């Protein structure tokens, strides 16, 4: 089986990572590559690392250029996906790598993003309870935000098992590629290198409602989330430190916690619960679709602490998108997705 795939937003970081993965996917033929301002130029200008596609000419993003493909990935600014998706027909698999179809609640959408709510599509994080089944039966996928990918997997098993209170604190250290190629002064290399800075503080980041949605779903009740992203001097990677008050006896807690995580992720090809004593590093996940996890109990503070490492562009965006495509098309879920990282 060969599926023909178009990528809208092929010149950005998410689009570039997606194309890198698709080049190695055994059942994919890469079709139209589209973008906005760089239409008409060879892809090699915007994506010099994609040597096999260097001579491909970027086209304009439109229903016409995207027509005639089995799968269309949309790596567009938020608010742009619904209009395109409506023109692609119900049989085409549309994978939205933007935010438009992630939130179930219209009020949430309007508060955090503004404008009309485009609706909700099956959520592309198969490791969450129930998600895999929905993805196997859809032609529309909403790819999660990069922060909620690692952070939700870090806490869902403990919340599902009732091991922690529904009141969580999440601090995620992220590389710069999550911000895309935006020409903003604080993203210049001179500003970023040798520097750590917090932003979107005190619940101001748009991924907060997505955390609440995912974790409340896992807990079966509303979860309060305090989320802070920290920008660190690295191109890729998110290291999430998540914690929550333990509900039970902390002296026996660590075994129960580890058992819950082992059970939750025993059959997951992309979640690696590390051996005791080994801690996640983002470097180990660069370019791979793996989530590295470790859990620990702080008996003094009475809290569970979970650390998760992912590559924001791979499992956090493009790898998660391919994983969902595989499920929706009935392919091997792991096809084309490396689990070994590029390190050092």
Q: Which of 98, 144, 150, 237 binds its own copies (CB under 8 A)?
A: 237
Q: Which is nearer to its own copies, 83 or 202 (CB)?
A: 202
The pair phi, psi for residue 12, each rounded to 5°, is -85, 180
Q: Which of 188, 259, 262, 276 binds its own copies (CB under 8 A)?
A: 188
Q: Which of 160, 216, 247, 339 binds its own copies (CB under 8 A)?
A: 339
Binding status of residue 198 toward its own copies by CB under 8 A: yes
Q: Minimum distance from CB of 16 to its own copies (Å)? A: 7
Q: Which of 153, 163, 260, 296 binds its own copies (CB under 8 A)?
A: 296
Provide the b/e sequence for 42-70 (b: ≥16 CB within 10 Å).
Answer: ebeebbeebeebeebebbbbeeebbeebb
Binding window for its own copies (CB under 8 A); candidates: 67-75, 85-93, 120-128, 273-281: 273-281
- Whether 154 sits among the annotated catalytic residues: the reply is no
| Touching its own copies, residues 29-88 (CB under 8 A) | 42, 44-45, 47-54
Sign of the Cα pseudo-torsion (72, 76, 79, 84, in order) = negative
Binding status of residue 199 toward its own copies by CB under 8 A: yes
CB contact set of 301 (below 8 Å; sequence gap of 6+): none
Q: Minimum distance from CB of 144 to its own copies (Å)? A: 20
Q: Let me know: does 28 contact 2? Beta carbons within 8 Å.
A: yes
Q: Minimum distance from CB of 82 to its own copies (Å)? A: 27
| Residue 194 token pair | 């040798």
The pair phi, psi for residue 123, each rounded to 5°, is -90, 125
Nearest by Cα to 291 from 279, 303, 280, 302? 280
Look up residue 57 and give its DSSP letter: B
Q: At what angle do helices 146-160 and 253-265 cross, to 10 degrees?
A: 120
Binding window for its own copies (CB under 8 A); candidates: 15-23, 60-68, 121-129, 150-158: 15-23
Q: Let me know: does 280 contact 309? Beta carbons within 8 Å.
A: yes
Residue among 95, 97, 135, 146 flagged as catalytic? 146
Binding status of residue 230 toward its own copies by CB under 8 A: yes
Binding-site string for its own copies from residue 120 to residue 149, where x marks contact by CB under 8 A and - marks none: ------------------------------
Please state whether 162 falls in left (phi above 0), alpha (psi between -120 and 50) or beta: left
Binding status of residue 176 toward its own copies by CB under 8 A: yes
Supply the residues annotated as catalytic.
146
């Amino acid at each position: 089986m060969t599926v023909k795939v178009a990528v809208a937003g092929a010149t950005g970081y998410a689009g570039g990572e997606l194309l890198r993965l698709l080049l190695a996917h055994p059942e994919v033929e890469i079709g139209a590559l589209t973008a906005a301002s760089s239409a008409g130029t060879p892809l090699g200008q915007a994506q010099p690392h994609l040597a096999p596609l260097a001579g491909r000419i970027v086209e304009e993003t439109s229903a016409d250029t995207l027509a005639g493909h089995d799968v269309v990935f949309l790596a567009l600014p938020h608010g742009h996906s619904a209009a395109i998706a409506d023109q692609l027909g119900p049989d085409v698999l549309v994978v939205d790598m933007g935010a438009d179809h992630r939130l179930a609640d219209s009020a949430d959408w309007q508060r955090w993003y503004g404008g009309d709510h485009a609706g909700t599509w099956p959520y592309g994080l198969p490791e969450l309870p129930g998600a895999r089944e929905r993805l196997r039966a859809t032609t529309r996928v909403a790819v999660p935000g990069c922060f909620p990918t690692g952070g939700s997997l870090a806490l869902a098993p403990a919340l599902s098992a009732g091991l922690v209170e529904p009141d969580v604190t999440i601090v995620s250290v992220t590389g710069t590629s999550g911000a895309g190629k935006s020409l903003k002064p604080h993203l210049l290399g001179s500003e970023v290198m040798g520097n750590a800075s917090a932003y979107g503080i005190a619940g101001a980041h748009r991924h907060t409602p997505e955390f609440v949605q995912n974790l409340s779903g896992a807990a079966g009740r509303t979860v309060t989330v305090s989320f802070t992203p920290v920008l660190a001097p690295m191109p890729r990677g998110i290291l999430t430190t998540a914690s929550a008050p333990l509900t039970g006896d902390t002296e026996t807690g660590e075994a129960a916690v580890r058992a819950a995580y082992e059970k939750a992720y025993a059959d997951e090809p992309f979640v690696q619960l590390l051996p005791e004593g080994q801690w996640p590093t983002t470097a180990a996940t660069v370019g791979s679709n793996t989530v590295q996890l470790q859990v620990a109990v702080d008996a003094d503070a009475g809290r569970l602490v979970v650390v998760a490492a992912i590559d924001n562009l791979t499992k956090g965006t493009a790898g998660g998108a391919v994983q969902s495509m595989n499920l929706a098309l009935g392919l091997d879920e792991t096809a084309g997705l490396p689990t070994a990282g590029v390190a050092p």
